[in-house]
Amino acid sequence: MLRTTTCGQLRTEHVGQTATLCGWVDSYRDHSGVLFVDLRDRYGKTQVVFGPESGADVQEVARSLRSEYVISVTGAVAARPMGTSNPKLATGEIELRATRLEVLNKSVTPPFQPGSIDTPNEDLRLKYRYLDLRRPRMQQTLLLRHRMIKAMRDYFDEHDFVEIETPMLGRSTPEGARDYLVPSRVHKGSFYALPQSPQLYKQILMVAGYDRYVQVARCFRDEDLRADRQPEFTQLDLEMTFVEADDVIGIIDGLVARLAKQLLGRDIPTPLPRMTYDEAMERFGHDAPDLRFGMELIDVTDIAREAEFRVWRGAADGGQRVRGINAKGAAANYSRKGIDDLTAWLTQDFGVKGLSWFKVEESGTLASPIAKNFAAPLLAKIAQRLNAEPGDLLLFVADTFPITCKALYALRKRFGEELKLYAPGSMHCSWVVEFPMFAYNEEEKCWAAMHHPFTAPRPQDAPLLASDPAACRAQAYDLVINGLEAGGGTIRIHDQTLQQQVFGLLGIDAEAARERFGFLLDALEFGAPPHGGIALGLDRWVMLFDGLDNIRDCIAFPKTQKATDLMTSAPGAVEAKQLRELGIKIDSPAK
């Protein structure tokens, strides 16, 4: 090898030894003819000194060095002079006094310095991703990702899981998002689809008798993007036979505890707490609540029915809800204009008709322009219901249950960030269980699967499929970390008759079911065992464990929010010859 040690390896016990390092020039300093270079690789930095003992020829080459040059340097390891050690570096007590230098490759002036503590503009980072990946922060994240995947594989191996790869080219099946389609050259007019998940294949593996399957799976979904979503992503996918929901949840509880201890040094007690979907929506307005802080949603609809305030009473009498939150101690943080800004935001983004509020004065009185519409006993009831104390800010939305959920959830999330209600780096993991089987699609006037069409109902709810699908609850469970869905799973339908019944509710008739899922329906007739599993969003896990805000920062080569690759300029046009071979004609060529 060209090097004997890495740039993060040398310590005081190596003083007096000769070492050869290779890496990138991170910084360069000339102090009265003595040249200092910080040499960087992914293991760390080492200070290299080019002094008189280096020789005139070596010093001359050293003076030509610039940022990001790739060099090889040999010299003696020496202790740094008294008072010059750098406690910020693991190698900060030594330096390499160079006797040989070779420039392995030069670099043009980079658009940003990978070694700088300042984070470059994201578009610039993505365009020059090979430079961005040299940044120590990026390398730290990708190394954490590596360790996480290794720890996951070790954990599941210990629990008798078998890793099996499933195809990238499969059949297009409706799973909730648009497929990425791949045209077939051999079968013109036919298309493969890239997998949205290995869902059907892993169910087939359960029928085949591989009772514990796991895979680090690449998945693809053509959907609108955001900070925590990518068109191609990685999930830790697993499936188990002869299990109930508690068995799958228990396996993941153990994984969460193992990774938190091994990667973060934290003890997370198990079993992780659980709440039902209905409880989550009632208390937090969302099926993935952030439990790092309180500020739960409180219902005051019964109080609203007694009030003279027409907005509240009209909503309550009309079958809607009046719900609120208590931003503890936040009255001084939000002026009248600040509350008006919150109202405008909620009105524009969530369709609320207005935002009612009270500030709690030192005397305990609720002060607000609407206070005159409430008798004193009602104000006291509101204060008691929301556990109001002097300095608190109480905010309420009167509307349909879904709108109050969306608006107050968003308001709660915003307050959590702005009021710093949780410590940086804190982590809370929990489960949400017993999701509805279906949600009604008002536009298409039909039922849609809350998770996917292969989810089994709770046994006690199965009769409701025929009588009241809205009341049917699924054997479904989501893992939530810091208010983000970190994984979702279900117990699957393993009976063909039940599967056909669910397809029927989803508007998939027998002919369409046979066309799209015939292979699965056939498999269910050959002794399919009870089975269930879960998929964990690996990219999101890395983001959460590393305290990041953007999922693009934990993927080596991500896409932008418009699903483009700024480094390679993908997607791009292809030659006309390729299109002819595939039998494809483009009506509107890209500009």
The residues facing 28 across adjacent strands are: 37
**Predicted local distance difference test score (pLDDT) of residue 125:** 96
pLDDT in tens, 283-308: 999 999 999 999 999 999 999 999 99
pTM of the model: 0.92
What DSSP letter does each residue of 264-306 carry, written as one string?
H-----SSPPEEEHHHHHHHHSSSS--TTS----EE-HHHHTT
Answer yes or no: are the C-beta atoms of 521 and 116 closer than 8 Å: no
Cis preceding-peptide flag for 271 (omega within 30 of 0)? yes
Cα distances (Å, whole numbers) of residue 70 to 38, 65, 115, 129: 12, 9, 14, 18
Instruction: Note the CATH architecture for domain 139-275+430-554.
Output: 2-Layer Sandwich (3.30)
Question: First CA to last CA across the chain, in angstroms?
Answer: 49
The percent of residues in the chain predicted with pLDDT above 70, rounded, is 98
Question: What is 12-105's CATH number?
Answer: 2.40.50.140
Domain boundaries, the chain: 12-105, 139-275+430-554, 293-421
Report the 10 Å Cβ neighbour count for 460: 9
The percent of residues in the chain predicted with pLDDT above 90, rounded, is 87
Decide if pLDDT at 19 tops 60. yes
**Predicted local distance difference test score (pLDDT) of residue 220:** 94
Q: Given pLDDT bands bounded at 50, 70 and 90, which one contains residue 317?
A: very high
**Predicted local distance difference test score (pLDDT) of residue 175:** 57
Answer yes or no: are the C-beta atoms of 322 and 383 closer than 8 Å: no
pLDDT in tens, 134-175: 999 999 999 999 999 999 999 999 999 999 999 999 988 765
Q: Give Cβ neighbours of residue 214 (< 8 Å, ≥ 6 apart).
A: 153, 156, 161, 162, 163, 236, 237, 238
pLDDT in tens, 322-376: 999 999 999 999 999 999 999 999 999 999 999 999 999 999 999 999 999 999 9
Instruction: Note the CATH architecture for domain 293-421.
Output: 2-Layer Sandwich (3.30)
Containing 322, the helix (H) or strand (E) segment is strand 321-327
DSSP-derived letter for residue 470 is G
Written as six digits, the tokens of 80 are 């740094």
